[in-house]
Amino acid sequence: MASFYDEINKNRRKSFLLIVLVFSFLAGLIYVISIIFAPESSFFILIFGTVFVFIYTYGSYRFGDKVVLSATGAKPVNENDPKYTTLINAVDNMAIAAGVPKPKIYVMESDEINAYATGRDPKNSSICVTTGLLERMKRDELEGVIGHEMSHIQNYDIRFATLVAVLVGLVAIISNMIFRSWRFRGSDREDRNLGIFILIGFILAIFAPIVVRIVQAAISRKREFLADASSAKLTRYPEGLASALEKIKKYNEGKMQVSEAVSHLFFTDPNKSALDNIFATHPSISERIKILRSM
């Protein structure tokens, strides 16, 4: 079985590879757009676009967590507010057990029971929980969920998952721009090569959202099982997390209305969609409960 150090090194390698792949893909998309709309200036647009992508990629690494927190409407917890005492204590306890600095704590408004962790490393991390989780979870269940998210922080899952949310999400956005904008181009050119580039842009626009889901599904399932096991190790009580998952299965409707680009960050899938049957970003809740209760 892989150790935490193995997982940390693996996540660092995957993060670097993701940056390289997405950077290259975005540069290619910009080149396609320049050929379609301004072939006479394509070289200069490519240079400008590459610089922009570099700055965006670096910004995603440094500030991706802030983008995610803002996109989900997360608000920082007032640690002097007594209604958050149990949550703050749970985060304190799990951070000590995991041997990581205490992450910043956020809450987002939602009746659904859910949570996520984000950041670039354990020293720069945040945990966000929904108001629904605070209302329905008992202390041991809450600690189980927080322990799960603390595992993602401990082994650098958060860096890779946050980069996926921000970088791969941008790929989908740019591809969608091609899909919507190509038809507004003038039809005075009949150049065959230009038609090929338009076709490439059209294909990218169609398949980019599917690629996003494939990437999300590939990174999410295994790490969720590992985080469940790590939570049981941190809390010494796997039934707490199993009970939390049962409540989620009972109460959640999958209607959180958060962007699909960040859905893989959550404790359980926040949105139900047609793609879930093919590219599920999370393992089955029933399977997770079964494994926890077999520990």
Q: Which residues are catalytic?
A: 149
> What's the Cα-to-Cα distance from 18 to each of 12, 223, 294, rounded to whole Å?
10, 17, 35
Q: Which of 4, 254, 86 is nearest to 105 (CA)?
A: 86
Strand ranges (DSSP E) for the chain?
75-76, 104-108, 115-121, 124-130
Residues 6+ apart with CB under 8 A from 73: 108, 109
SS3 29: helix
Please name the helix (run of DSSP H) or strand (run of DSSP E) that holds residue 202, with its range, or none.
Answer: helix 192-235
Residues 6+ apart with CB under 8 A from 56: 26, 170
Exposed e or buried b for every residue in 70-88, given b needs 16+ CB within 10 A?
eebebeebeeeeeebeebb
Other CB atoms within 10 Å distance of the CB of residue 2: 11
Query: Taking the chain, what is the end-to-end CA distance rounded to the nearest angstrom?
Result: 15
Which tokens in the block code for residue 24?
Answer: 């290259």
DSSP assignment of 225-239, as one string? Answer: HHHHHHHHHHHS-HH
The answer to whether the CB of 281 falls within 8 A of the CB of 269 is: yes
The answer to whether the CB of 201 falls within 8 A of the CB of 36 is: yes
